[in-house]
Structure 1
Amino acid sequence: MSTDPTPPGFELPLRLLLAFRTIIDELHERIAREGHPDLRPMHGFVFQAIGPHGTTAVELGRRLGVSKQAAGKTIEGLEQLGYVARGSDPADARRKVVRLTDRGVDCLARSARIFDELRAEWSATLGEEQLRRLEDGLRQLAPGDPFRLDTPRWFGTP
């Protein structure tokens, strides 16, 4: 426990953002070394919003809190990189569905493993008990779905 005076209130969200940036930046450094150098932090939100069964550009935009046009531009860029593919919906040939390619699925699997490694490193630094208290405290302060995907709108369109 710190004996320093209480820090100003604005420091808490900045420290939370800095912790987020630290772990995401390290993830992207490692995933780049594993064959995914073109990924950007926003792409993780997009992959999660596409999901295992795919989605349309309209639905992707809704899930991310961005316009259909912004979602379409993001899909186009990820398609060029080989992470997603567009195809017809078997139930409705007029409807175009975006799905993750094998490359996109590989990226998600590698990301999950790297996040586990990073958590283990943070546990080694802070101690498992302190890290669990931090995680429990964050769940208490920020309840709800941790996979809320409209976060990109806070930072601009993907």
Structure 2
Amino acid sequence: MDATPLREDLTLLLTALTAWTQDEVVRHLDSEGFGDLRVSHGYVFQHLQAGPVTVRELAEAMGVTAQAASKSTGELERMGYVTRTQGADLRVRMIELTKAGRDAILAGRLARAGVNAEMRLTLGEDAEVFDKALRTLAEATGALEELAKRRLRLIG
């Protein structure tokens, strides 16, 4: 059994910070009128920004089954954030962001910027060292590359 004190366990500290940052972003989104969104919706949105995709393409990009991608997009469609349209191949439906979906993405970016600013303000002059340390860890573990490929997935 690991006897590492909570305040020294980097895994738990990063987990706690991740939970806090996600909660703050969701809180900001709620205050901007996007209270129906969950963190998991962002994993769908990130793959729709470049333009319409098929459910199969979305599933492959997200690393999930077509059924899971279809379920997520169906929910977002009912909420008004995406629409399904007929593709050139009449058997294929394309999924694309609506104006509300694009507005939600912008609101999410602004929310993350606010959370980032709050954390940097809290850290003060240590913010630059913290930023560099996080980038070093993200690069060394391959997590930054996975993020750039938009392949990070929600666990659970």
Q: Note if contact 2:82-2:98 (Cα within 8 Å) is conserved in structure 1.
A: yes
| Cα drift, residue 86 of structure 1 | 0.2
- 1:140 equivalent in structure 2: 139
1:124 equivalent to 2:125? Answer: no
- Deviation readout 1:38-90 (Å, 9 max, x if unpaired): 1011000110122321211112122222211111111111100000000022x
State the alpha-carbon separation in 1 of the partners of residues 105 and 13 from structure 2: 26
TM-score using structure 2 length: 0.84
Query: What is the CA-CA distance between 1:95 and the residue it aligns to?
Result: 1.9
Relative distance call for 1:35 and 1:139 in structure 2 (3 A) is: same
Gaps of 5+ in 2: none
Residue 111 of structure 1: aligned partner: 108
Deviates more, 1:44-53 or 1:139-148: 139-148
- Indicate if the aligned counterparts of 1:86 and 1:97 stay in contact, CA closer than 8 A: yes
Higher relative contact order, chain-length normalized (CA < 8 Å, sep 6+):
1
Contact 1:122 1:131 in 2 (8 A): no
- The answer as to 2:61 corresponding to 1:63 is yes
Whole-Å Cα distance in 1 between the matches of residues 35 and 63 of structure 2? 26
- Determine helix, strand or coil for the equivalent of 1:66: coil
Question: Where does residue 27 of structure 1 map in the other structure?
Answer: 25
Does structure 2 conserve the Cα–Cα contact (< 8 Å) formed by 1:57 and 1:68?
yes
| Root mean square deviation, CA, Å | 2.2
Contact 2:84 2:95 in 1 (8 A): yes
User: Structure 1 vs Structure 2: percent identity of aligned residues?
Assistant: 32
Q: Quick one: which of 43, 46, 67 aligns to 1:45?
A: 43
Offset, 1:7: 4.9
